[in-house]
């Protein structure tokens, strides 16, 4: 009796799922969903090649240092790197003296208040400090950025699909709205204060083009600082901030695969040796 009851319950739910599927499929065919401007004009990230893309690829420290320079001189005016400490920059080739000099140029807020001005006191940064936010709080950040709070960039490339290519595409994707978009979606005109970018999810974002001209940053290694080059460099740097142990993880993966291959070979030879006499006897 219990089995029959269980069978009938299962049959009921299976029939209900089938009915729901058929009704949904019929509705989709008869009344297909309306096309949206995001569906029509949102673009997948551009194809861009980085040294760390390959299965055994490695970071290019020279590129990461250029990317850090772009972040420091351009992006840090609005964005933070709250999960990255100054001493972590040793991972991209900076020595101890250079890290101390970099940290010293950042003002770190302290809990104390200046009695003369009533403002929070600051001190020079040290290697153990984390990169500070450029704003005191979210209210201040929103007030300075058209009511949009700039996101922290520490893990941005892991938070977005094709993260490195996404950052590169976003930085190089600012443009005027296509005439075709306004023709088919006249109500989708980019609001005042926002900027059209087909690589952003809803096509409009509050951030103005941060890299607006070639030569905006002067590279010490002689690399020509075009918008495309600066975008690639800072995208690579933000990939490193999100995955600083990428190379170690890949090396560990290679070592594990080699170990498993050797262990598999030894196990097979042991099997052959142990069971050889048994097979002959059989």
- In this predicted structure, the answer to whether residue 67 has a pLDDT above a threshold of 70 is yes
* Cα 12–chain centre separation: 45
CATH number of 38-81+145-244: 1.10.760.10
Annotated binding site: 75, 78-79, 207
188 touches 182 (CB < 8 A): yes
Angle between helices 61-73 and 227-242 (to 10 degrees): 100
What's the DSSP call for residue 12? H
Report yes or no: 135 and 165 within 8 Å, Cβ to Cβ: no
Q: Write b or e for each residue in 73-112: b if 16 or more Cβ atoms lie within 10 A of its Cβ, otherwise e.
A: ebbbebbbbeebbbbbbebbebeeeebbebbeebebeeee
The predicted model gives 222-244 an average pLDDT of: 97
Integer Cα distance of 64 and 68 in angstroms: 6
- Quickly state the pLDDT bin for 206 (edges 50, 70, 90): very high
Contact between 239 and 253 under an 8 Å Cβ cutoff? The reply is no
DSSP 84: -
Beta strands in 90-164 (DSSP E): 107-113, 120-124
* pLDDT higher than threshold 60 for residue 148: yes
* Contact status, residue 226 vs residue 32, Cβ threshold 8 Å: no
Q: What is the pTM of this model?
A: 0.84
In order, the DSSP letters of 258-274 are HHHHHHHHHHHHHHHHH
Percentage of the residues of the chain whose pLDDT score is greater than 90? 65
Lowest mean pLDDT among 16-25, 156-165, 242-251, 260-269: 16-25
* Per-residue model confidence (pLDDT) at position 281: 57
* DSSP SS3 for 248: helix
| Beta bridge pairs of residue 204 | 196
With contact defined as beta carbons under 8 Å apart, do 64 and 92 qualify? Answer: yes
Binding residues for heme c: 75, 78-79, 207
């Amino acid at each position: 009796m219990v089995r029959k009851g269980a069978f009938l319950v299962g049959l009921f739910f299976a029939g209900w799922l089938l009915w729901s599927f058929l009704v949904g499929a019929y509705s989709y065919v008869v009344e297909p969903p309306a096309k949206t401007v995001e569906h029509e004009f949102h673009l997948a990230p551009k194809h861009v090649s980085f040294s760390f893309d390959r299965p055994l690829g490695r970071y290019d420290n020279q590129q990461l240092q250029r990317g850090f320079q772009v972040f420091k001189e351009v992006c840090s005016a609005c964005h933070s790197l709250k999960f990255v400490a100054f001493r972590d920059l040793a991972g991209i080739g900076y020595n101890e003296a250079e890290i101390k000099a970099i940290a010293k140029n950042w003002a770190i807020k302290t809990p104390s208040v200046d009695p003369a001005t009533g403002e929070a006191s600051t001190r020079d940064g040290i290697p153990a400090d984390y990169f500070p936010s450029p704003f005191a709080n979210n209210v201040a950040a929103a007030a300075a950025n058209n009511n949009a709070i700039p996101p922290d960039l520490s893990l941005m490339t892991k938070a977005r699909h094709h993260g490195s290519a996404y950052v590169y595409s976003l930085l190089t994707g600012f443009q005027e709205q296509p005439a075709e978009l306004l023709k088919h979606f006249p109500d989708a005109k980019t609001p005042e204060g926002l900027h059209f970018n087909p690589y952003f999810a809803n096509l409009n974002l509050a951030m103005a083009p941060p890299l607006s001209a070639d030569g905006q940053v002067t590279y010490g290694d002689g690399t020509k600082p075009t918008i495309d080059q600066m975008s690639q460099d800072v995208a690579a740097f933000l990939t490193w901030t999100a995955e600083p142990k990428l190379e170690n993880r890949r090396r560990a993966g290679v070592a594990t695969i080699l170990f498993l291959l050797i262990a598999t070979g030894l196990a097979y030879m042991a099997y052959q040796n142990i069971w050889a006499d048994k097979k002959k006897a059989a």
